[in-house]
């Protein structure tokens, strides 16, 4: 029978790829204001990249939402050649490894209009489950999070386009995204959490860390549940790791994820809220196609809000007003303070830059924003 060889070939293929598993983790970062206070966009970060990571444009991109560190791990018992395509219909991909076979949109240099949507990356990679290529992994010196992400039991990814090996496939992006959770901070400093219409948000964390060590940590299984309190950053970190594992990540993946972001999420002063994105929402935002199809795909994304607190709002507004002061020392002092305000300050300054009528303030804000926009250190 003519169909018998084809059937045997298909069965053999299914058998070889039966244990092919793909896991991905990442985050989407955004800045949110207070009641009746809106904030501007933020720039994607290029400052922490190893030299072999490619960038869409040397100029950092400014968008409402920034997608950070989506990392794809591949698990297989046999060597395998895989095609991977990631789409971002409502945004663009800004950084990636390895070299893709193709990407879109092509960045327009010079005076052309910047593309803001239709992102696509296509790779073809080889997977080495024995890790024989690990000896060729690039050395890491000044990139503290990258080696943490390597500490997994995944197959080694070998680029077919330009050579090179790594323990994961990496990309970032920026563009539009509407979270299912709406987060604001009241004038009294309380979190205001609510689901957007028709949505149900689960695994919600709120963090308030003030200078001097005063900290509050809470977890909501969903917004109808009573919050669970944690004593310190170590306790909430352990809890988040357990929830990431419950959502599909392996232990080493979840541990690496919270280790990389522990300081930014739970230790640095500020108000923050986070939740674990529904898998269907991840797929709708960034459709992922892999050939041959894995037995299972787990995609775990964390939505992270940096929230404008009353104290920070008052300070930043005061410093921005001081940029128009008559005295040089006052303007210089305000400028130095604003340079250290992070993404919250960046978002507020971008709003003020677009609306201020004071030419001196606008000029100073332009200089500050240029200075704080992340630059690629490898260029």
Average pLDDT over the chain, rounded to an integer: 86
The percentage of residues in the chain with a pLDDT greater than 70, rounded to a whole number, is: 86
pLDDT digits (tens, 9 = 90+) for 287-305: 999 999 999 999 999 999 9
Q: How far is CA 55 from CA 27, 59, 360, 371, in A?
A: 18, 9, 34, 19
Q: Identify the weakest region by mean pLDDT among 23-32, 132-141, 339-348.
A: 339-348
pLDDT at residue 26 is higher than 90: yes
pLDDT at res. 46:
66
Confidence of residue 12 (pLDDT cuts 50, 70, 90): very low
pLDDT at residue 36 is higher than 70: no
Q: Where are the domains of the chain?
A: 18-308, 311-372
pLDDT at residue 22 is higher than 60: yes
pLDDT at residue 5 is higher than 70: no
pLDDT at residue 379 is higher than 60: no
Q: Identify the weakest region by mean pLDDT among 128-137, 258-267, 280-289.
A: 128-137
Polymer length in residues for the chain: 379
pLDDT digits (tens, 9 = 90+) for 180-222: 999 988 888 899 999 999 899 999 999 999 877 689 999 999 9
pLDDT at res. 249:
98
pLDDT at residue 353 is higher than 80: yes
pLDDT at res. 14:
46
Strand ranges inside the chain, DSSP E: 21-32, 42-43, 54-55, 62-63, 65-75, 80-88, 91-97, 102-104, 119-128, 156-159, 165-166, 169-175, 181-185, 191-195, 202-209, 215-222, 228-230, 270-276, 288-291, 296-307
pLDDT at res. 9:
46
pLDDT at residue 258 is higher than 80: yes
Confidence of residue 6 (pLDDT cuts 50, 70, 90): low
pLDDT at residue 68 is higher than 90: no
């Amino acid at each position: 029978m003519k169909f018998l060889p084809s059937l045997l070939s298909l069965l053999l293929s299914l058998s070889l790829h039966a244990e092919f598993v793909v896991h991905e983790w990442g985050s989407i970062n955004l800045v949110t204001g207070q009641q009746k206070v809106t904030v501007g966009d933020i720039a994607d970060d290029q400052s922490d990249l190893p030299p072999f990571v490619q960038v869409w444009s040397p100029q950092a991109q400014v968008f409402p939402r920034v997608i950070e560190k989506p990392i794809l791990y591949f698990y297989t018992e046999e060597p395998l050649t895989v095609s991977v395509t990631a789409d971002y219909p409502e945004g663009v991909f800004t950084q990636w490894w390895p070299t893709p076979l193709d990407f879109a949109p092509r960045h327009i240099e010079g005076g052309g209009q910047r593309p803001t949507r239709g992102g696509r990356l296509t790779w073809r990679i080889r997977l080495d489950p024995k890790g024989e290529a690990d000896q060729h992994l690039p050395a890491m010196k000044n990139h503290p999070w990258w080696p943490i992400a390597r500490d997994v039991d995944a197959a080694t990814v070998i680029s077919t386009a330009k050579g090179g090996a790594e323990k994961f496939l990496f990309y970032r992006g920026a563009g539009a995204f509407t979270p299912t959770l709406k987060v604001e901070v009241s004038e009294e400093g309380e979190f205001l959490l609510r689901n957007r219409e028709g949505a149900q948000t689960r695994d919600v964390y709120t963090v308030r860390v003030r200078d001097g060590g005063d900290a509050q940590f809470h977890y909501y299984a969903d917004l109808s549940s009573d919050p669970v309190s944690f004593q310190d950053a170590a306790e909430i970190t352990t809890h988040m790791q357990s929830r990431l594992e419950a959502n599909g990540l392996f232990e080493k993946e979840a541990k690496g994820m919270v280790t990389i972001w522990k300081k930014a999420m739970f230790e640095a002063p500020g108000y923050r809220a986070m939740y674990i994105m529904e898998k269907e929402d991840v797929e709708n935002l960034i459709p992922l196609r892999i050939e041959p199809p894995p037995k299972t795909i787990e995609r775990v994304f964390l939505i992270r809000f940096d929230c404008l607190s009353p104290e920070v709002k008052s300070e930043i507004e005061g410093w921005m007003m001081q940029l128009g002061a008559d005295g040089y020392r006052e303007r210089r002092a305000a400028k130095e303070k604003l340079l250290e305000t992070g993404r919250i300050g960046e978002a507020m300054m971008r709003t003020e830059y677009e609306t201020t009528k004071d030419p001196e303030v606008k000029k100073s804000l332009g200089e500050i924003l240029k200075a704080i926009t992340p630059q690629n250190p490898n260029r």
